[in-house]
Structure 1
Amino acid sequence: MTEAQQLPIGVFDSGVGGLSVLRALRAALPHERFVYLADSAHAPYGERGDAYVGARTHAITRYLLEQHHIKALVVACNTATAAAIHEVRASHLDLPLVGLEPAIKPALAVTRTGRVGVIGTRGTLTSAKFGKLLGSLAEQAQFVVQPCDGLAHAIERSVARPAPVLGAPVGATETGALCERYLQAMGDFGTAPGQIDTLVLGCTHYIFVAHELRALVGPHVQFIETGEPVARQTRRLLETAGLLATPDGAPATDVSRTRLLTTGPVAMLQAAAERWLGLPADCCETVSVP
């Protein structure tokens, strides 16, 4: 491999939700090295203004470039993508850059009732970027859009608690109660005419409460999330730029090839890494990103 091919891919989110994207990236790109940064000290992004989120996005991009010499960046946060990715792209023209947006285009391909639910943070769903995307597709389906205030933050807090007891009522946990409140506000889910048969998970955190969402909407509603499409796009960009890592006998499942950083309490990231990625605590460390 060339020196450039051996450089890591940077991945960041406002917290631990982006680990769902990192999980997909590690599966699709087994020979790559990754540096993941959770900006937990400044979370949740979804409840802050665009100027604040933009400033953090620029600061983290500079940090990952200067301190870790990343060869590509995945903005594993819908809110940061909506608020700042156009500015980051303009400032770093040579950096392969992948952002996230709620996957409503893929949802159109699978809905049969023509009613698609979209859940996400308020920052994402009220952004101009999402509004433009939704407006361009409005004639192709009925979209039921629901901001889920507090849900991403509750998922972050939940990693330090024991996993829900199998068979317990969904509303018995903080995350379950929030899921129940927001899905009930959206209307009926199912495959009958007039029901929502497809649910777009418009925040990287939400895949980690998929079991609670599934218990509420039933077995036939399709979930659409962004991890795998983002991993495919990242691979395409690396191939085009000649930066894709080649086999060297040490796949990225080796913990030495995945570094997990946080601007907040390291214990939360350690718990999430162990629960969701099967990675040990010594992969994680706290850093400062002014």
Structure 2
Amino acid sequence: MVSENRLPIQYSCYHTRSREGEQFVPEHALGYILSGAMELNNGRQSFTFTEGDIYFFSRNQLAKFVKYPPEGKEFRSLSIYFEQDTLRNFSVETGCKMDQHVIAPPFKNLSGGRVLTDFMKSLLAYEHLFKQGKMEDLLRVKQKEALLVLLQIDPDLKNILFDFSEPGKIDLEAYMNKNYHFNVELKRFAYLTGRSLSTFKRDFEKVFHMSPSRWLLQRRLQEAYYLLKEKKRTVSDVYLDLGFEDLSHFSFVFKKQYGVAPSLIQ
């Protein structure tokens, strides 16, 4: 869902309900909902943010985003991203460092504070320039200001923002059984389980006795059958929730596996 080559401040708008593509966020982000609502789900918790809400999103998270425009209008949001190089430079410049390791929450609601809300609103004055890709130097200044404001209102964020450690090696079987439904590349799963891609593939076959791609397809289809048959979910919701990028591909592989189209499951 996130491009790694982007401007540090971005605006987005959608006229219809939107689910984005790859569901991996590599960098910390600060978001402000201008209109509509957005549901975030990391597979264990679900959060909904509405107009006026501000949230902090921790890096290296898998999450699904669903954006809902208000009736007759468009969903609009403003996001500020904090790349690791930017944070390292800020840490050197200001002397602000992590003083203890903490488990970062996937999402943190920062709504309600006037200082942060007023700062986010002030960025709307530059929206037309930022959308044109102009004034990147100003973008960087505003990004730094955002960090200063965040640390002023929530000093403990330094233990999240300035933790530059990478994911350690974790239990592969448990992790994949929790996160198989996320639509991310294998290199993301490898990274988040603390492995190189080659080591991930090798360890995966030792644990599951098949390739990651084949296992992911079979596991997603099994869950799809269960949701359609037992939970009476709609086909359109199921294929998106389970990481299939389009309905035609889902219908094809489902029928190949079970001999019947998913729409006919009763």
With the shorter chain as reference, the TM-score category is under 0.3
Q: Which is higher, the Rg of structure 1 or of structure 2?
A: 2
TM-score by length of 2: 0.25
User: Whose relative contact order is higher, 1 or 2, with alpha carbons under 8 Å and at least 6 apart?
Assistant: 1
